[in-house]
Amino acid sequence: MTIGEVLRLASEHLAKTSETARVDAELLLANALGRSRIELYTDFDRPLDESELGAYRSLVARRARREPVPYILGEWGFRRLTLSVDARALIPRPETEIVVERCLERLRGVDRPVALDVGTGTGAIALALADEHAGVRVTAIDFSADALQLARENVERSGLEVQLLEHDLRDGLPGGPYDLVVSNPPYVEPADLDGLMPDVREYEPHVALVGVGATEAVARAARDVLRPEGWLVLEVGDGQASQTLELLEALGYAEGTITRDLTGRERVVEARR
Ligand SMILES: C[S@@+](CC[C@H](N)C(=O)[O-])C[C@H]1O[C@@H](n2cnc3c(N)ncnc32)[C@H](O)[C@@H]1O
């Protein structure tokens, strides 16, 4: 079978369980062959040998069991970085890239700012800030030792500087004063867990998804560690933006704004201390 035929068959098979079947099939084949996705297209008529087919079959079988593609590949792109990803932490999402964009906007022009990333997971937000704002000093916390170990691997992989701390946000936030506190806290209600796609529910860490009161806890604690006029930037679940903005106003934050993600959903709330 050629690359073109194999891709067609795998896409048909994956379409039963994935909305992104064709892209999944291409990413997995590129990985199995050690090529880029674009190279598959320039080599459409090349036949695959048995060992290549065997390797690809096992990757497709994992995806057919709903394992997320980033976990199968072991790495995933986030802004300008390629991060190691696995079941120890949440897969960084496109909407979180917008969180980083808002942070960079708030830090623009600030010389050697100090920032805190609360619930860092893979380290995605903290590392992207370190990568994209020269001179920023970033601390990142998480209460999951597993997630922090993965974040440590990503710090090493990227060659960027981020200070990692094992810390529970319910105990308040460490250090400061900060120019910026950013968080993508767990915001799925326990009752909504069953409604999540199996790809998410069965593979990603529940401590990264489900959190009762985590957003409020970050917002309350951030007041104690932000510099006067420092910014709090929060990712929120779909439908949670206006109530979060009201919460921030009630806590004394000012200049609250909401930013939509690329699909038009209100997903980022920020305000000044
Ligand atoms: C939604 S994930 C975000 C991961 C990463 N920042 C991102 O945007 O891809 C939430 C993270 O918060 C961490 N977390 C949950 N509860 C926490 C707590 N009480 N204290 C510290 N970290 C917590 C989880 O371990 C998880 O890594």
Contacts (Cβ under 8 Å, ≥6 apart) of 97 = 78, 79, 128
How many CB atoms lie under 10 A from the CB of residue 141? 23
Which numbered atom of ligand 1 lies nearest the CA of 167? 21
Identify the bridge partners of residue 27 per DSSP, sorted by sequence position: none
Round to whole Å and give the CA distance between 246 and 107: 24
- Are 159 and 81 within 8 A, CB to CB? no
Closest Cα to atom 2, ligand 1: which residue? Answer: 208
β-strands 266-272, 226-235: how paired? antiparallel
Which numbered atom of ligand 1 lies nearest the CA of 120? 6
Query: Which mutation among 91, 93, 97, 143 tests ligand 1's pocket best, with the greatest number of atoms within 8 A of CB?
Result: 143
CA 245 → CA 14, 101, 227, 230, 233, distances in Å? 40, 19, 20, 16, 11
pLDDT > 70: percent of the chain: 100
How many CB atoms lie under 10 A from the CB of residue 258? 15
Position 111 scores a pLDDT of 94
pLDDT > 90: percent of the chain: 100
Position 195 scores a pLDDT of 94
Closest Cα to atom 9, ligand 1: which residue? Answer: 92
Position 249 scores a pLDDT of 98
Torsion of CA 17, 96, 78, 54, to 10 degrees: -10
- Are 119 and 141 within 8 A, CB to CB? yes
Closest Cα to atom 26, ligand 1: which residue? Answer: 208
For tokens 């069953």, the residue is: 194
The rounded Cα 131 to chain-centroid distance in angstroms is 16
H/E segment holding residue 231: strand 226-235
90-138 pLDDT, tens per residue? 999 999 999 999 999 999 999 999 999 999 999 999 999 999 999 999 9
181-239 pLDDT, tens per residue? 999 999 999 999 999 999 999 999 999 999 999 999 999 999 999 999 999 999 999 99
Give me ligand 1 centre to Cα 127, in Å.
Answer: 15
Which numbered atom of ligand 1 lies nearest the CA of 92? 9
31: helix, strand or coil: helix
Residues with CB under 6 A from ligand 1: 89-90, 92, 96, 119-122, 124-125, 141-144, 147, 168-170, 184-186, 207-208, 211, 214
Q: What values do phi and psi take at 199, rounded to 5?
A: -55, -35
Position 28 scores a pLDDT of 98
Position 32 scores a pLDDT of 97
